[in-house]
Structure 1
């Protein structure tokens, strides 16, 4: 009984002694710092500037590239986007050239590119709508994204609309420039050659898709130029917005 009383009596002194030695430690609250976009943290004005500047850059860049492609020879004399024979017709092309019909093949290539130059003229309004509908979140992701982030955004936003718009124009243009006659003659002559596999490609679908590929390829070139070339930032808004890339 004495021992129990002694322990109870000494208990407050033991607790006090341990507290003085620092063995009872308070819990420390930790927090994870928020990751913010460079130059825009909690700043609606900066975010709005990014959206405004990026839209301006895309509008200027897209208009510039589409206008160039829509000119005569915009596709035909631009090796980066020139539409060549479909891959499945390479054998046909080589065979016809060996048979002295290279001029027919060349005319077929020319008419395909003329159709593309006609079709691309209607692209600008479609791109402008996609740019107009871009959100501030989209703009931030694009600005601080990969070097082709804007091009990928436009591809996903306009692909279906461009195909729907380009396809009938390509079909009409093929007839207008005589490409249907040239192609039918070329394919007919090839299919008459003994012991070869007959071909009959969907010309409208092929030209439409290659036209779209060409447009996006040139937009990607312009996007990279704006990101890397200071001289391409022709306004104070563009300079401020793309200057944020240096603070990444």
Structure 2
């Protein structure tokens, strides 16, 4: 995408944004469209979110994205696992392991999310830009969360079946895999939700201060 925009283009963008009806979200404005702006907002938000999630501390150091050992309820395996996790040392060890898995899974999820951004049909892009602080992320999550979690599930299942989680697999082995499958579903869902929460946080920050991005499209339409 061309990152240069002259003053005339910027004035056209701002003026058009004020005058466009909601149905005209694909109308060209200078060299860009409102769809371009929404996609750019989501691309930058996603790039920043994945950089944070896969950096030092990853999911674990952030209350917004931390993955926690789930309570699987009343099944035999769930009861055994619950007893194990009532020990603080065990719970902390499992939590750190789950968050390490989340970092690895985020690497796999990033291309899926970015592809979803590029393929989104933005029938109401103006409304998204004028929406709340996470309006674009909310739309992305509605369209892509299912495919992201589905992609995460096999890798999460394999990771949970590794030596790192020997205690978990031992606790759940007596249930014929039912509680183990529930554990994998729960953790995959947590990772998926954490990813979209992280993207939403970045979107809100970009909307708050679009000039800090240095991106001419975002500065013109959000500034």
TM range (shorter): 0.7 to 0.9
Q: Does 1:106 align with 2:92?
A: yes
Q: Which residue in the other structure is 2:148 paired with?
A: 162
Q: Which structure exhibits the higher relative contact order, with contacts defined as CA atoms closer than 8 Å and separated by 6 or more residues?
A: 2
Gaps of 5+ in 1: 1-35, 192-198, 244-248
Q: Does 1:206 align with 2:186?
A: yes
**Paired residue total:** 196
Q: Distance in 1 between matches of 2:71 and 2:220?
A: 45
Alignment of 1:167-178 (within 5 A): 167-176=153-162, 178=164
Distance change >3 Å, CA 206–CA 51, structure 1 → 2: same
Q: Does 1:123 align with 2:109?
A: yes
- Which string of whole-angstrom CA distances, capped at 9 and with x for unpartnered residues, describes residues 5-49 of structure 1? xxxxxxxxxxxxxxxxxxxxxxxxxxxxxxx96243679322943
Q: Distance in 2 between matches of 1:240 and 1:37?
A: 9
Q: Please report the RMSD computed on the Cα atoms of aligned residues, expressed in angstroms.
A: 3.0
Q: Does 1:69 align with 2:60?
A: no
Matched-pair contact (CA < 8 Å) for 1:227–1:242: yes
Q: Which residue in the other structure is 1:219 paired with?
A: 199
Q: Which residue in the other structure is 2:27 paired with?
A: 44
Q: CA deviation at 1:127?
A: 1.7
Gaps of 5+ in 2: 1-15
- Which string of whole-angstrom CA distances, capped at 9 and with x for unpartnered residues, describes residues 65-85 of structure 1? 112212353112222211112
Q: CA deviation at 1:232?
A: 3.3
Matched-pair contact (CA < 8 Å) for 1:119–1:170: yes
Q: CA deviation at 1:214?
A: 0.6
After superposing the two structures, state which structure 1 stretch, 167-176 or 214-223, moved more: 167-176
Matched-pair contact (CA < 8 Å) for 2:41–2:218: yes
- Which string of whole-angstrom CA distances, capped at 9 and with x for unpartnered residues, describes residues 49-105 of structure 1? 32212212211110111122123531122222111122456987885577xx43222
Matched-pair contact (CA < 8 Å) for 1:67–1:121: no
Q: Distance in 2 between matches of 1:172 and 1:82?
A: 20
Greater C-alpha Rg? 1
